Amino acid sequence: MGRSSSFTVVIILGLVLNAAVVCNGGITSSFVRKVEKTNDMPLDSDVFRVPLGYNAPQQVHLTQGDHEGRGVIVSWVTVAEPGSDTVLYWSENSKRKNRAEGIMVTYKFYNYTSGYIHHCTLRNLEVGIGHCPRKFWFVTPPKVGPDVPYTFGLIGDLGQSYDSNRTLSHYELNPAKGQTVLFVGDLSYADKYLNHNNVRWDAWGRFIERSVAYQPWIWTAGNHEIDFAPEIGEFTPFKPYSHRYHVPYRASNSTSPFWYSIKRASAYIIVLSSYSAYGKYTPQYMWLANELPKVNRSETPWLIVLMHAPWYNSYNYHYMEGETMRVMYEGWFVQYKVDVVFAGHVHAYERSYRMSNIAYNVVNGICTPVNDLSAPVYITIGDGGNLEGLATNMTEPQPKYSAYREASFGHAIFEIKNRSHAYHSWHRNQDGYAVEADSLWLFNRFWHPVDDSRSA
């Protein structure tokens, strides 16, 4: 991102390298993490602290607000009373001040009533604009273009445990300095509590504020966002999530906030829903069929897909849960040369080779993944640290499609260098901030479609 093409925007809310084992496949790390029970932090932990001041905005978070990256959705919660829906914002060193008006929503879930949830979209952010008790800032992305460098963080299945806190701190202190987080689902894990205790949604919003109030997180819905609980009279799936976390789905002609696309720098990012209908003729299927041909690789060379349930997973946790979606869509991913797919769900890390399994047609028996240079690299990054703990039981022997796997908590960084090269690194929590436990140079499938499987 060139300095001349981005702006720091100030906003004001409300009140205005280890030994490894080589198997049949790639590498199963021999790193031994001390197995400990993973506990959520108590609600009086400092990371959940309510901001000072009457009705002060809390749980502030940002995500992209349009398709091109010139808008930002700012969201926050007030508790005592609705307060103002106005955001004042300005660009760094600018005297021109602007304001945007948002909307306010609330919801009830069993015996819980939410605070006043505000969502405000800031548009056309070449300049920006404000003043009030809580002040935040963010850097607008560079203009979309083929050789624009950009750095994404990757986090999934975070929760709010002590390990979750270590993961977020590790990401924040990583010298690679991610500019936007691609979040692959499973946010608060409030559904693990009695009656899906939505107080834990509030706590999680305050917990991640230290990052997401200053850089956008791009949201993917996971199974812990479904919150379908008919036993307590809650029949609407995704109710807390959809009220709290808005995304710009209409900008990509989607009919649902659970699947959508955005452009950011030199990347075209498609978000899919593992827990919405995806069979033929369904809205998600029809949208993706129309969306993939639209991607202009001369404008956005890097085609990235986010989902929650992984298609290629060699752990005995959630094994083959993504299989039916893979059967529906993998052929398209190969046809349109998707570069990389990030998923969560499995609480561990895994990276695949470029493989596909699209030849099978029920009668031919060809059902083994094969090397395919038109296929994506599949990366599971569901190792954020939530209270369910690590997935430590792996299938043996390691399948040939699996390049590296390890049951440790951590995060990843994806650095786009130009239209042809990007660098992926995975960072386990036990290591120093700059240490890469796994890494790979990725070569773009459209502009430089050579074998990158041995570039780790």
Instruction: Indicate which residue of 318, 347, 411, 424 is catalytic.
Output: 318
Does residue 118 carry a catalytic annotation? Answer: no
Comparing CA positions, the residue from 209, 355, 341, 321 lying closest to residue 271 is 341
How many angstroms separate the Cα of 90 from the Cα of each of 8, 121, 130, 217, 423?
8, 14, 6, 21, 33
Looking up tokens 């993917």 gives 220
What does the DSSP assignment read for 387-417? Answer: TT-----B-SSPPTTEEEEE---EEEEEEE-
The span from the CA of 407 to the CA of 433, in Å, is 18
How many angstroms separate the Cα of 89 from the Cα of each of 95, 116, 221?
11, 21, 29
The span from the CA of 379 to the CA of 394, in Å, is 16
Comparing CA positions, the residue from 258, 260, 277, 280 lying closest to residue 269 is 260
The span from the CA of 64 to the CA of 66, in Å, is 6
Task: For residue 439, list its beta bridge partners.
Answer: 425
Instruction: Indicate the residue type of 199.
Output: V
Active centre residues (catalytic)? 318
